[in-house]
Amino acid sequence: MSQRTSTLSFYEKGVYKIGDSVTLFGHQLVRKILENIEKDRHNRILEIACGKGNLGSNLIKNLNSYLTGFDVSNFLINYAKRSNANNKEKLEFLVADIENIPFRRESFDVIISVFGVSFTGNSTIIQELNYILKKNGKFIYLDIFLKKNLPHEFKKSHIFQRTCTCLHGVKTLQSQLLQLENCGFKITLIESYDAVLQKILEDAKKFKEKIFSNSVAQIIFTKEELDIVRLWLELYIEALEKDLISCIMIISSK
Ligand SMILES: C[S@@+](CC[C@H](N)C(=O)[O-])C[C@H]1O[C@@H](n2cnc3c(N)ncnc32)[C@H](O)[C@@H]1O
């Protein structure tokens, strides 16, 4: 299965049904930051790998901004369009791949990525983002970073092979900071959210038990979807228990 196909089947079948419990804290965080720095200004915001578009629809409620969100999944973008049909003048959703970003130079005041950039191993992405960001524009980047190189046996494991798209492009914080600086970004904030990640781990364990002992889950999810959700939860539980990953927010400006 190609990386793109496995990403699509992963998000379209199963993971999107879990809701935003995993990314919700990231959404709240980004909202707080933007409301503080962008008060009463008209802005063009880009959200990378926006999934169902929930962050965008919440964000623009309190901002005088226009948000464009893109995701590789046609299915999720259609979902985002449908659920935001009343807000077309402030929100736009389109299908695009992080590996091939279709925007002009200096198009955006703010770029947001909540667990998005880590889906690409392509190192030119940061350069591309700098290119499409306006001067003094901000890049708000919350993601998973590697604490150490992934052990060989972890990478060879069934769980990793089936879900590797999630951790495909994950880098160490050090290498990502270096890359941001080399591409012309000035780092203004680095904040760790490992405590939140630990909490998510605890919730993931409970959630895993719950969905497998819960007959409602067997109705909501198909057997194939349950399998995907289980693998996805196991991947993060194992990576966290082995202390391989951390969750960090980087804010930088051009
Ligand atoms: C962890 S989810 C995060 C979704 C959203 N940012 C949020 O916070 O709710 C990752 C998203 O990345 C998308 N994705 C994965 N690979 C991508 C790619 N190459 N280009 C664009 N989007 C991609 C997936 O379809 C999925 O919606």
The model's pTM: 0.90
Strands 43-48 and 65-71: parallel
Query: pLDDT grade, residue 18 (50/70/90)?
Result: low
Q: Which helix (H) or strand (E) holds 113?
A: strand 108-114
Q: How many whole angstroms separate alpha carbon 172 and alpha carbon 40? A: 36
**pLDDT at residue 227, rounded to an integer:** 79
Residue 217 pLDDT grade (very low, low, confident, very high; cuts 50, 70, 90): low
The C-alpha angle with vertex 119 and arms to 114 and 122, in degrees rounded to 5, equals 120
Domains and CATH numbers, the chain: 3-253 (3.40.50.150)
Q: Return the pLDDT at 112.
A: 94
Sheet hosting strand 91-95, strand order edge to edge: 91-95, 65-71, 43-48, 108-114, 133-146, 245-253, 186-192
Rg (the chain; Cα; Å): 18
pLDDT: is 54 or 216 the higher one?
54
pLDDT greater than 70 at residue 138: yes
Pocket test for ligand 1, best of 1, 8, 9, 11 (most atoms within 8 A of CB): 11
Residue 137 CA neighbour count, 13 Å, CB half: 23
User: Is 43 or 4 the better-scoring residue by pLDDT?
Assistant: 43
Closest ligand 1 atom to the C-alpha of 51?
27
- Among 98-102, 125-129, 207-211, 237-241, name the one with the lowest average pLDDT: 207-211
Q: Mutate which of 2, 13, 68, 72 to test ligand 1's pocket (most atoms within 8 Å of Cβ)?
A: 72
**The total number of residues written for the chain in this structure:** 254
Q: Given this model, what pLDDT does residue 32 score?
A: 80
Neighbours of 206 (CB within 10 A): 10
Tell me what the mean pLDDT of segment 93-103 comes to: 94
What's 34's DSSP letter? H
- Whole-angstrom distance, CA of residue 1 vs CA of residue 116: 21
Average pLDDT, stretch 16-24? 60
Give the span between the Cα atoms of 117 and 125, in whole angstroms: 8
Q: Which has the minimum average pLDDT: 6-20, 21-35, 39-53, 222-236? A: 6-20
**Distance between CA 35 and CA 114 in Å, rounded?**
17
Pocket of ligand 1 (CB under 6 A): 7, 11, 20, 23, 26, 49-51, 54-55, 71-73, 76, 97-99, 114-116, 119-120
- Specify the range with the lowest mean pLDDT, choosing from 8-12, 73-77, 92-96: 8-12
* Ligand 1 midpoint to CA 61 (Å): 22
What is the model's pLDDT at position 165? 66
pLDDT of 20 over the 60 cut: no
Question: If you average pLDDT over residues 221-228, what whole number do you get?
Answer: 77
Q: Which two tokens mark 73?
A: 């999944």
Question: Which has the higher per-residue pLDDT, 100 or 197?
Answer: 100
Looking from the CA of residue 20, the nearest atom of ligand 1 is 9
Mean pLDDT of 87-93: 92
pLDDT of amino acid 4: 67
- pLDDT bin (cut points 50, 70, 90) of residue 42 is low
**Alpha-carbon distance 95 to 91, whole Å?**
14
Pick 116 or 1 by higher pLDDT: 116
pLDDT of 2: 63
